[in-house]
Amino acid sequence: DSGVTQTPKHLITATGQRVTLRCSPRSGDLSVYWYQQSLDQGLQFLIQYYNGEERAKGNILERFSAQQFPDLHSELNLSSLELGDSALYFCASSVATGGYSGANVLTFGAGSRLTVL
Amino acid sequence: GESVGLHLPTLSVQEGDNSIINCAYSNSASDYFIWYKQESGKGPQFIIDIRSNMDKRQGQRVTVLLNKTVKHLSLQIAATQPGDSAVYFCAEFTGTASKLTFGTGTRLQVTL
């Protein structure tokens, strides 16, 4: 167990629907990162939050949004779902932000597998 | 967190042999390079990292080599074991962008 908790583990839904993926970071970690892992594109960075504020943005679609709450858990909202959104969505957490050090290693959760039919 | 099904290059190695997994990176401004291991059903797990001003770093049974001239990174696993079977990703961290960018990954299969 990495200490990063993601729910749900599996989710099947239909095109056009909206889903919310949830992440609880490791205790003491202030940064949360979201990644998408699909068959043809590997791990793609979506977005990062630090202590409730957005810090970095990657290839996140406008149909997707995220937030980090005061208790530091984060939610990734995916709306108007398309078949191509089917993927594994990973959350990772780290202690800090803005720089990398041995103490700022990203710890990943087990992921949420989204299937859009 | 399965990575099964990803269209990845595969390295097949016999148990007990050494494995070398290679990675080419693109950003010469990256500050750190990290190797992650992803086993079936799990998310990526940190293995080892190396700062951009170093060319070699050793861990337990693993060594990472960095060649900045040709933008190449490699992970060497000594005495490969069945438990090493997984997908291995290299990642680069750029401080200015404050994000981790992953490579495409290599699947390591350990045969008995």
* SS3 per-residue string spanning A7-61: ECCEEEECCCCCEEEEEECCCCCCEEEEEEEECCCEEEEEEEEECCEEEEECCCC
Sheet architecture: strand order including A5-7:
A5-7, A19-24, A74-78, A64-68
Q: What integer pLDDT is reported at residue B18 of this predicted model? A: 97
Taking CB atoms and an 8 Å limit, are B49 and A102 in contact across chains? yes
pLDDT at B40: 86
How much is the average pLDDT of B68-89?
95
Q: Chain B closest CA to A93's CA: distance in Å? A: 12
Cα B78 to Cα B73: distance, rounded to the nearest angstrom? 16
Q: In the structure encoding, which two tokens stand for residue B63, read together?
A: 């060594």
> Tell me, what's the pLDDT at A83?
96
Does B45 sit within 8 Å of A108, measured CB to CB?
A: yes
A23: buried, middle or exposed (CB in 10 Å: 19+, 13-18, 0-12)? buried
- Predicted pLDDT at B4: 39
Residues of chain A positioned with their CB less than 8 A from the CB of B7:
39-40
The two tokens of residue A9 are 């583990």
pLDDT reported for residue B7: 66
Rounded-to-integer distance, Cα A25 and Cα A6, Å: 9
pLDDT at site B31: 84
User: What local confidence, expressed as pLDDT, does residue B2 receive?
Assistant: 39
Q: How far apart are CA A25 and CA B3, in angstroms?
A: 22
Q: What is residue B41's predicted lDDT score, i.e. its pLDDT?
A: 82
Least CB–CB distance from B31: residue in A43, A56, A100: A100
| Distance in angstroms (rounded) separating the CA atoms of residues B68 and B54 | 9
Supply the pLDDT for residue A111: 96
- Are B95 and A45 in contact (CB < 8 Å)? no
Peptide bond into B82 cis (omega under 30): no
**pLDDT at residue B98, rounded to an integer:** 63
pLDDT of A99 reads 56
For residue B43, count other CB atoms closer than 10 A to its CB. 25
What is the end-to-end Cα distance of chain B in Å, rounded?
25
Contact A45 B99 (CB under 8 A): yes
Rounded to whole angstroms, the Cα distance separating B111 from A46 reads 36
Q: Tell me the pLDDT tens digit for each residue of A19-67.
A: 999 999 999 899 999 999 987 667 899 999 999 999 889 889 999 999 9
Where is average pLDDT lowest: A16-20, A42-46, A69-73, B65-69?
A: A42-46
| Secondary structure in 3-state letters for B58-111 | ECCCEEEEEECCCCEEEEEECCCCHHHCEEEEEEEEECCCCEEEECCCEEEEEE
pLDDT tens digits along B84-106:
999 999 998 876 666 778 888 99
Q: Which residue from B7, B46, B98 is facing A56, i.e. has the nearest CB?
A: B98
* Dist. CA B83–CA A65, nearest whole Å: 37
State residue B83 phi and psi, 5-degree precision. Answer: -70, -10
